[in-house]
């Protein structure tokens, strides 16, 4: 007989507005404790010195984390010109300086070079693994850290404001794996100066936005059902996926890990292009999540099955 899991079998998403100087793992632990949840995880690490959107999955919603990790992310951040730090943010030691301060026109001219697919070398102090160890652990130990550049995608990058000659405020929409600290570092170098991140806020992760975000304080103010009512449905993470509704027998087969056969009209309704290729399908029954599936012809094949408890 298996061991009974500790905690409540609750599922869904908390759209957390993470505070400054709080680690992502620490934030997840706090939310899991507040809800006494059996399982919790986050969708995309946010630096301790950054604030903003950290989607936290509870229970069965953890099965949808990989789909959120692939989503676009939006950041608002301030660059500090004239100083480079070893961490590429305000907490690091200054390792180089420059008297040059870029003009607005020079900054706007260079931004196009950073839109699209570009190569980026992550910061020395980052969670990138090097021979099984985190880069930040090696850097803190004083070891030489050699990180290979990687391809990332910047969907948009705008200069929002220049409050003074030392600072510039930007907004960027990025793909997976982008380090905004490295983005500021590289832009500064191309502008003939040095730079680092002064502050960083993530305003959106896919469908999760700051308009619906909650702080830990917001959650702590409520108890019982009122606190539970703050949990968003796990299906929010799957917004935009092709979806289909199953009948009872189809849903039972899927929930047992078996293939279900759909009608030709059902399959046609799922198709999203002329080729008919669908990578993932969100299957429901009476509006309730059943599984994430793939579609092969008329066969619906379960990939991740949800075991929800009423």
Which residue numbers are catalytic?
Answer: 47
Q: Is the Cβ–Cβ distance between 134 and 127 less than 8 Å?
A: yes
> Regarding beta strands 40-42 and 51-58, do their DSSP bridges make them parallel or antiparallel, or are they unpaired?
antiparallel
- Other C-beta atoms closer than 10 Å to the C-beta of 255 total 19
Q: How far apart are CA 35 and CA 49, in angstroms?
A: 25
Phi/psi for 117 (5° steps) reads -85, 125
**Quick one: tokens of 185?**
């570092």
Q: Which among 260, 251, 247, 289 is positioned nearest to 67, based on CA atoms? A: 289
Positive or negative, the Cα torsion across 57, 62, 63, 64? positive
Q: Is the Cβ–Cβ distance between 78 and 183 less than 8 Å?
A: no
Q: Is the Cβ–Cβ distance between 88 and 79 less than 8 Å?
A: no
Residues 134-148 as b or e (16 or more Cβ within 10 Å = b): ebbebbeeeeebebe
């Amino acid at each position: 007989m298996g061991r009974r899991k500790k905690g409540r079998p609750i599922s869904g998403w908390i759209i957390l507005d993470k505070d400054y100087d709080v680690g992502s793992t620490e934030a997840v632990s706090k939310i899991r404790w507040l809800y006494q949840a059996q399982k919790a995880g986050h969708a995309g690490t946010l630096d301790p010195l950054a604030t903003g959107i950290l989607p936290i999955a509870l229970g069965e919603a953890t099965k949808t984390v990989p789909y959120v990790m692939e989503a676009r992310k939006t950041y608002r951040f301030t660059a500090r010109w004239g100083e480079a730090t070893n961490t590429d943010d305000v907490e690091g030691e200054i390792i180089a300086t420059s008297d040059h301060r870029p003009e607005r026109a020079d900054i706007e001219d260079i931004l196009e070079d950073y839109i699209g697919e570009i190569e980026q070398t992550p910061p020395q102090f980052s969670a990138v693994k090097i021979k099984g160890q985190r880069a930040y652990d090696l850097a803190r130990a004083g070891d030489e850290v050699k990180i290979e550049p990687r391809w990332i995608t910047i969907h948009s990058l705008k200069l929002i404001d220049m409050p003074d000659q030392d600072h510039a405020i930007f907004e960027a929409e990025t793909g997976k794996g982008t380090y905004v600290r490295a983005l500021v570092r590289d832009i500064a170098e191309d502008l003939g100066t040095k730079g680092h991140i002064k502050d960083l806020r993530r305003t959106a992760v896919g469908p999760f936005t700051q308009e619906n975000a909650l702080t830990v304080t917001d959650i702590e103010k409520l108890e019982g059902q009122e606190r539970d009512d703050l949990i968003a449905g796990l299906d929010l993470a799957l917004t935009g996926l092709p979806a289909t509704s199953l009948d009872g027998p189809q849903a039972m087969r899927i929930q047992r890990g078996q293939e279900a056969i759909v009608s030709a009209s059902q399959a046609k309704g799922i198709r999203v292009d002329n080729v008919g290729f669908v990578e993932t399908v969100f299957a429901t029954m009476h509006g309730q999540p059943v599984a994430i599936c793939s579609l092969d012809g008329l066969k619906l094949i379960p990939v991740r099955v949800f075991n929800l408890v009423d």
